[in-house]
Amino acid sequence: MKTLFPTLAVLIIAACSHTPPQPLLPAFFYWETTLDISDSERGLMDSLGCKKLYIKVLDIGRNATTGEIEPYSITEMSDTNGLARLEIIPTVFITNEVFQNISKEKTAWLAKKIVENLNQIKELKGVLFDCDWTPSTRESFFLFLKKIRSELPPGTSLEATIRLHQYKFPKETGVPPVDRGMLMFYNTGDVDEEGEHNTIFHPDDALKYVDGAPKDYSLPLDLALPLFSWGLVFREGELWKIVPGPIPFEEMRLSKKYLEHPATEPFSAHLWEVKEGTFLGGHYLRPGDHLRVSATSPELLFRAASLAQKLDLADDASLAFFHLGIAQSAYFSAQQLDSVCKTVRK
């Protein structure tokens, strides 16, 4: 009996000293073609205590005419005034088509060219590659990542985005040879199907990927959640155009050029029919066009955060909101975004 009390005391002390999970560290994606962060955007990051910013520096795809691999968007990174306190993670978006039928020699060439561009960034600590690879391109993409690692300065963190289907089925899709993964917890719907389903995020769709997923993903994972919206224009039953948000709902409701159809379920998309010819986001819409607007509301964002509690995220995970240009007080407050970070760890 004498040994019971010391043992019991140790157990009680251990239980009391258990460190509760820390909220996810707030971060943002910056997805513009010009690096020009406004005072309000800086203020938002300061209010949240944001320490990390993922800046898209390259968009790479294949030329539709020649089939050649080339950048179609390059962000100038020289103007980083006011960002000295942030950890900058350059992000490179590469279309899946780039890795279709690509030779090993071309793969090595592409890796070398990208690193030449990245080496212009001062104090490069890490880089994130965003590519939705498929079974047919997995081998080429993973080889590309290995070539990238061999070209980067030693100690540079190599990261890759992970889609939900890749998270749930790692044996089928493979796990990229990187140091960390960024789990993209959105784009859960089919943009080609006309209807009121929210294609950016719908809890029912996301739950299908969360339930049954392996409990231990083999990479430490950060989390990305959406703040954006978009309008999908259907013409004669086919997807014709994607119009980036934010979509001016109030102006459309005051206009006689649109007919709004009421939603029939929570978190659904907003459905509109074009009654008179008009312009939206620089695109001419003609009578009879159908518009499906998928958007992220604060309520939907908190629902996503609640579902994310089930994900296998790293202990030191960041929560990167996509993207900074939409994270304005008119849509999402700093307090709301801070609460979202805390909700994931409840």
pLDDT string in tens for the chain (346-residue length): 445 555 555 555 545 555 667 889 999 999 988 888 888 889 999 999 999 999 999 999 999 999 999 998 888 766 566 687 899 999 999 999 999 999 999 999 999 999 998 987 878 899 999 999 999 999 999 999 999 999 999 999 999 999 999 999 999 999 999 999 999 999 988 888 888 889 999 999 999 999 999 989 999 999 999 999 999 999 999 999 999 888 888 899 999 999 999 888 888 898 999 999 999 999 999 999 999 999 899 999 999 999 999 999 999 999 999 999 887 666 788 999 999 999 999 8
Q: Which pLDDT value is given to residue 80?
A: 64
Query: Could you state, in order of their start, the residue ranges of all structural domains in the chain?
Result: 20-228+296-344, 229-294
Comparing CA positions, the residue from 173, 156, 176, 154 lying closest to residue 164 is 173
Instruction: Determine the CATH number of domain 20-228+296-344.
Output: 3.20.20.80
pLDDT at 78: 60
Q: What are the two backbone dihedrals, phi and then psi, of residue 250, each rounded to the nearest 5 degrees?
A: -65, -40
**How many Cβ atoms from other residues are within 10 Å of residue 27's Cβ?**
26
Could you tell me if 257 and 312 are in contact, meaning their C-beta atoms sit under 8 angstroms apart? no
Is the bond preceding residue 323 a cis peptide, omega within 30 degrees? yes
Between CA 94 and CA 129 the distance in angstroms is 7
CA distance 246 to 77: 26
Asked whether 227 and 326 are in contact (CB, 8 A), the reply is yes
The CB density around residue 344, as the number of other CB atoms within 10 Å, is 23
Q: How many residues does the chain have?
A: 346
- Burial code (b: 16+ CB inside 10 Å, e: under 16) for 78-90 equals eebeebeebbbbb
Q: What is the pLDDT of residue 156?
A: 95
Instruction: Tell me the residue type at 155.
Output: G
Q: What are phi and psi of 46, to 5 degrees?
A: -65, -40
Single-letter amino acid code for the residue at 171: K
Instruction: Give CA–CA dist 3/118, Å, rounded.
Output: 61
Provide the token pair at 270. 């907003």
Q: How far is CA 70 from the centre of its chain?
A: 23
Query: How big is the chain by its Cα radius of gyration, in Å?
Result: 22
Taking the model in full, what pTM does it have? 0.90
Query: What is the pLDDT at residue 101?
Result: 94
C-alpha to C-alpha distance for 282 and 248, rounded to whole angstroms: 13
The confidence score (pLDDT) of residue 241 equals: 93
Give the number of other CB atoms < 10 A from CB of residue 178: 22
> Count of CB atoms within 10 A of residue 226's CB?
23
The rounded distance, in Å, linking the Cα atoms of 165 and 201 is 14
Long-range contacts of 49-53 (CB under 8 A, 24+ apart): 50/26, 50/86, 51/25, 51/27, 51/85, 51/86, 51/87, 52/25, 52/27, 52/28, 52/86, 52/87, 52/89, 52/318, 52/320, 53/27, 53/28, 53/29, 53/83, 53/86, 53/87, 53/88, 53/89, 53/324
